[in-house]
Chains A and B, each alone.
Chain A
Amino acid sequence: TQLLEQSPQFLSIQEGENLTVYCNSSSVFSSLQWYRQEPGEGPVLLVTVVTGGEVKKLKRLTFQFGDARKDSSLHITAAQPGDTGLYLCAGAGEETSGSRLTFGEGTQLTVNP
Protein backbone atom coordinates (compact mmCIF):
# COMPACT_ATOMS: atom_id res chain seq x y z
CA THR A 1 0.00 0.00 0.00
CA GLN A 2 1.38 3.38 -1.00
CA LEU A 3 0.99 6.12 1.60
CA LEU A 4 1.57 9.83 1.29
CA GLU A 5 2.13 11.92 4.39
CA GLN A 6 1.61 15.64 4.22
CA SER A 7 2.92 18.16 6.70
CA PRO A 8 1.90 20.32 8.30
CA GLN A 9 -1.77 19.38 8.50
CA PHE A 10 -2.79 22.92 9.41
CA LEU A 11 -1.03 26.19 8.73
CA SER A 12 -2.23 29.70 9.58
CA ILE A 13 -0.04 32.61 8.48
CA GLN A 14 -0.22 36.33 7.79
CA GLU A 15 -0.42 37.82 4.34
CA GLY A 16 3.03 38.31 2.85
CA GLU A 17 4.70 35.39 4.64
CA ASN A 18 6.34 32.45 2.87
CA LEU A 19 5.50 28.82 3.55
CA THR A 20 6.42 25.30 2.52
CA VAL A 21 4.22 22.22 2.50
CA TYR A 22 5.75 18.75 2.34
CA CYS A 23 4.54 15.48 0.86
CA ASN A 24 6.53 12.36 1.76
CA SER A 25 6.34 8.66 1.01
CA SER A 26 8.45 5.54 1.17
CA SER A 27 7.12 4.58 -2.26
CA VAL A 28 8.31 5.69 -5.66
CA PHE A 29 5.76 7.42 -7.86
CA SER A 30 5.76 7.82 -11.62
CA SER A 31 4.32 11.29 -11.19
CA LEU A 32 2.96 13.50 -8.46
CA GLN A 33 0.18 16.04 -8.59
CA TRP A 34 -0.72 18.96 -6.37
CA TYR A 35 -4.33 20.04 -6.04
CA ARG A 36 -6.06 22.89 -4.23
CA GLN A 37 -9.55 22.50 -2.85
CA GLU A 38 -11.82 25.25 -1.60
CA PRO A 39 -14.73 24.58 0.79
CA GLY A 40 -17.64 22.82 -0.88
CA GLU A 41 -15.77 22.36 -4.14
CA GLY A 42 -13.78 19.59 -5.77
CA PRO A 43 -9.97 19.62 -5.89
CA VAL A 44 -8.48 21.57 -8.78
CA LEU A 45 -5.24 20.40 -10.35
CA LEU A 46 -2.36 22.86 -9.92
CA VAL A 47 0.62 21.00 -11.35
CA THR A 48 2.07 17.60 -12.25
CA VAL A 49 5.73 16.77 -11.71
CA VAL A 50 7.25 13.78 -13.42
CA THR A 51 11.04 13.81 -13.39
CA GLY A 52 13.12 13.34 -10.24
CA GLY A 53 14.49 16.73 -9.17
CA GLU A 54 12.03 18.61 -11.36
CA VAL A 55 11.05 22.12 -10.30
CA LYS A 56 7.97 23.87 -11.65
CA LYS A 57 6.79 27.38 -10.96
CA LEU A 58 3.26 28.70 -11.11
CA LYS A 59 3.38 32.42 -10.30
CA ARG A 60 4.21 32.54 -6.57
CA LEU A 61 4.03 28.74 -6.18
CA THR A 62 7.10 26.57 -6.61
CA PHE A 63 6.76 22.78 -6.78
CA GLN A 64 9.64 20.35 -6.48
CA PHE A 65 9.78 16.59 -7.01
CA GLY A 66 12.43 14.74 -5.01
CA ASP A 67 15.35 13.16 -6.82
CA ALA A 68 14.12 9.69 -5.87
CA ARG A 69 10.51 10.53 -6.82
CA LYS A 70 9.32 9.72 -3.30
CA ASP A 71 8.62 13.20 -2.02
CA SER A 72 7.59 16.66 -3.09
CA SER A 73 7.29 20.15 -1.71
CA LEU A 74 5.16 23.19 -2.43
CA HIS A 75 6.57 26.60 -1.58
CA ILE A 76 4.42 29.73 -1.64
CA THR A 77 6.09 33.12 -1.67
CA ALA A 78 4.34 36.19 -0.26
CA ALA A 79 1.11 34.35 0.52
CA GLN A 80 -2.18 36.09 -0.11
CA PRO A 81 -5.67 35.48 1.35
CA GLY A 82 -6.68 34.01 -2.00
CA ASP A 83 -4.21 31.19 -1.41
CA THR A 84 -6.37 29.90 1.44
CA GLY A 85 -7.54 26.34 0.86
CA LEU A 86 -6.78 22.65 1.29
CA TYR A 87 -3.66 21.59 -0.58
CA LEU A 88 -3.54 17.94 -1.57
CA CYS A 89 -0.71 15.96 -3.06
CA ALA A 90 -1.42 12.78 -5.00
CA GLY A 91 0.97 10.21 -6.39
CA ALA A 92 0.48 7.97 -9.39
CA GLY A 93 1.91 4.47 -9.08
CA GLU A 94 4.53 3.12 -11.39
CA GLU A 95 2.13 0.65 -12.99
CA THR A 96 1.45 1.51 -16.60
CA SER A 97 -2.32 1.61 -16.19
CA GLY A 98 -1.93 4.89 -14.40
CA SER A 99 -5.46 4.76 -13.10
CA ARG A 100 -4.83 4.92 -9.39
CA LEU A 101 -3.89 8.01 -7.41
CA THR A 102 -2.90 7.92 -3.76
CA PHE A 103 -3.85 11.10 -1.94
CA GLY A 104 -2.28 12.65 1.12
CA GLU A 105 -4.42 13.92 3.98
CA GLY A 106 -4.00 17.50 2.87
CA THR A 107 -2.68 20.72 4.37
CA GLN A 108 -5.29 23.27 5.36
CA LEU A 109 -3.78 26.70 4.71
CA THR A 110 -5.29 29.90 6.05
CA VAL A 111 -3.77 33.22 5.03
CA ASN A 112 -4.98 36.08 7.18
CA PRO A 113 -5.13 39.61 5.78
Chain B
Amino acid sequence: ETGVTQTPRHLVMGMTNKKSLKCEQHLGHNAMYWYKQSAKKPLELMFVYNFKEQTENNSVPSRFSPECPNSSHLFLHLHTLQPEDSALYLCASSQVGHLNTEAFFGQGTRLTVV
Protein backbone atom coordinates (compact mmCIF):
# COMPACT_ATOMS: atom_id res chain seq x y z
CA GLU B 1 0.00 0.00 0.00
CA THR B 2 1.73 3.14 -1.19
CA GLY B 3 -0.76 5.85 -0.33
CA VAL B 4 -0.91 6.92 -3.96
CA THR B 5 -3.84 5.60 -5.98
CA GLN B 6 -4.13 5.72 -9.75
CA THR B 7 -7.15 4.97 -11.91
CA PRO B 8 -7.74 3.34 -14.22
CA ARG B 9 -5.08 0.60 -14.02
CA HIS B 10 -5.46 -0.20 -17.71
CA LEU B 11 -6.71 1.93 -20.58
CA VAL B 12 -7.05 1.24 -24.29
CA MET B 13 -7.97 4.23 -26.40
CA GLY B 14 -8.17 5.18 -30.05
CA MET B 15 -6.19 8.03 -31.49
CA THR B 16 -9.28 10.23 -31.70
CA ASN B 17 -10.50 9.58 -28.15
CA LYS B 18 -10.30 11.83 -25.14
CA LYS B 19 -9.61 10.25 -21.76
CA SER B 20 -8.26 11.23 -18.38
CA LEU B 21 -5.96 9.55 -15.89
CA LYS B 22 -6.54 10.21 -12.21
CA CYS B 23 -4.15 10.19 -9.27
CA GLU B 24 -4.89 10.72 -5.60
CA GLN B 25 -2.39 10.81 -2.75
CA HIS B 26 -3.25 10.27 0.91
CA LEU B 27 0.19 11.12 2.32
CA GLY B 28 -0.22 14.83 2.94
CA HIS B 29 2.49 15.66 0.43
CA ASN B 30 2.69 19.00 -1.34
CA ALA B 31 4.18 17.94 -4.67
CA MET B 32 2.87 15.59 -7.34
CA TYR B 33 4.41 14.27 -10.54
CA TRP B 34 3.58 12.50 -13.76
CA TYR B 35 6.18 10.11 -15.16
CA LYS B 36 6.15 8.09 -18.37
CA GLN B 37 7.78 4.67 -18.45
CA SER B 38 8.34 3.07 -21.84
CA ALA B 39 9.98 -0.25 -22.51
CA LYS B 40 13.77 -0.13 -22.24
CA LYS B 41 13.84 3.57 -21.36
CA PRO B 42 14.46 5.38 -18.10
CA LEU B 43 11.59 6.95 -16.25
CA GLU B 44 10.75 10.22 -17.98
CA LEU B 45 9.54 13.10 -15.84
CA MET B 46 6.63 14.82 -17.58
CA PHE B 47 5.13 17.35 -15.16
CA VAL B 48 5.76 18.61 -11.64
CA TYR B 49 3.27 20.39 -9.41
CA ASN B 50 4.35 22.09 -6.18
CA PHE B 51 1.53 23.39 -4.00
CA LYS B 52 -0.89 22.97 -6.96
CA GLU B 53 1.27 25.12 -9.24
CA GLN B 54 2.94 23.59 -12.26
CA THR B 55 6.66 24.11 -11.87
CA GLU B 56 7.99 21.88 -14.58
CA ASN B 57 6.91 20.76 -18.02
CA ASN B 58 9.57 18.69 -19.70
CA SER B 59 8.73 19.55 -23.30
CA VAL B 60 5.69 17.34 -23.22
CA PRO B 61 3.43 17.51 -26.31
CA SER B 62 0.22 19.47 -25.86
CA ARG B 63 -1.86 16.33 -26.40
CA PHE B 64 -1.04 15.67 -22.72
CA SER B 65 -2.70 18.21 -20.45
CA PRO B 66 -2.22 18.03 -16.67
CA GLU B 67 -4.55 19.41 -14.05
CA CYS B 68 -3.97 19.75 -10.31
CA PRO B 69 -7.09 21.07 -8.54
CA ASN B 70 -5.57 20.60 -5.08
CA SER B 71 -2.47 19.11 -3.51
CA SER B 72 -4.07 15.67 -3.22
CA HIS B 73 -5.35 15.19 -6.75
CA LEU B 74 -3.68 15.15 -10.12
CA PHE B 75 -5.13 14.45 -13.54
CA LEU B 76 -3.63 13.84 -16.95
CA HIS B 77 -6.03 14.63 -19.78
CA LEU B 78 -5.30 12.83 -23.02
CA HIS B 79 -6.46 13.66 -26.53
CA THR B 80 -5.44 12.71 -30.05
CA LEU B 81 -2.66 10.46 -28.81
CA GLN B 82 -0.28 8.50 -31.01
CA PRO B 83 0.59 4.80 -30.79
CA GLU B 84 4.07 5.74 -29.52
CA ASP B 85 2.39 7.26 -26.47
CA SER B 86 1.57 3.75 -25.28
CA ALA B 87 3.39 3.29 -21.98
CA LEU B 88 3.00 2.94 -18.24
CA TYR B 89 2.08 6.33 -16.77
CA LEU B 90 3.11 6.73 -13.16
CA CYS B 91 1.99 9.30 -10.66
CA ALA B 92 4.14 10.11 -7.65
CA SER B 93 4.08 12.46 -4.69
CA SER B 94 6.68 13.85 -2.34
CA GLN B 95 7.18 16.48 0.32
CA VAL B 96 8.93 19.51 -1.18
CA GLY B 97 11.36 21.26 1.09
CA HIS B 98 13.01 18.09 2.28
CA LEU B 99 16.54 17.66 1.05
CA ASN B 100 16.06 13.90 1.12
CA THR B 101 13.36 13.87 -1.53
CA GLU B 102 11.60 10.53 -1.63
CA ALA B 103 8.96 9.83 -4.22
CA PHE B 104 6.05 7.55 -3.52
CA PHE B 105 4.51 6.06 -6.62
CA GLY B 106 1.10 4.82 -7.58
CA GLN B 107 0.66 1.51 -9.33
CA GLY B 108 0.47 3.19 -12.71
CA THR B 109 -1.92 3.22 -15.64
CA ARG B 110 -0.99 0.95 -18.51
CA LEU B 111 -2.04 2.93 -21.58
CA THR B 112 -2.39 1.41 -25.03
CA VAL B 113 -3.15 3.68 -27.96
CA VAL B 114 -4.59 1.88 -30.98
Residues of A within 8 A of B (CB): 30-31, 33, 35, 40-45, 48, 50, 88, 90, 92, 96-101, 103-106
Contacts and interface: CB of A to CB of B under 8 A. Distances in A.
18 contacts: A33-B103, A41-B107, A42-B105, A42-B107, A42-B108, A43-B43, A43-B103, A44-B105, A45-B103, A45-B104, A90-B103, A98-B101, A99-B50, A99-B56, A99-B96, A100-B45, A100-B56, A106-B42
B66 interface: no
Nearest to B6: A42
A9 B55 CA distance: 32
A55 B101 CA distance: 18
B61 interface: no
A40 B43 contact: no
A106 B56 CA distance: 23
A106 B103 CA distance: 16
Q: Identify the 7 closest CB pairs spanning chains A and B, nearest first.
A: A42-B105, A98-B101, A92-B101, A103-B43, A31-B100, A105-B42, A99-B96
Contacts of A104: 42
A36 B102 CA distance: 13
A109 B43 CA distance: 17
A41 B37 CA distance: 11
Chain B interface size, under 10 / 10 to 19 / 20 to 34 / 35 or more: 20 to 34
A111 to B, nearest CB: 21
B17 interface: no
B103 A101 contact: yes
B41 A105 contact: yes
A42 B106 contact: yes
Given A40-B88, A50-B100, A104-B42, 9 more contacts: A31-B100, A35-B105, A48-B100, A88-B43, A97-B96, A98-B99, A99-B101, A101-B45, A103-B42
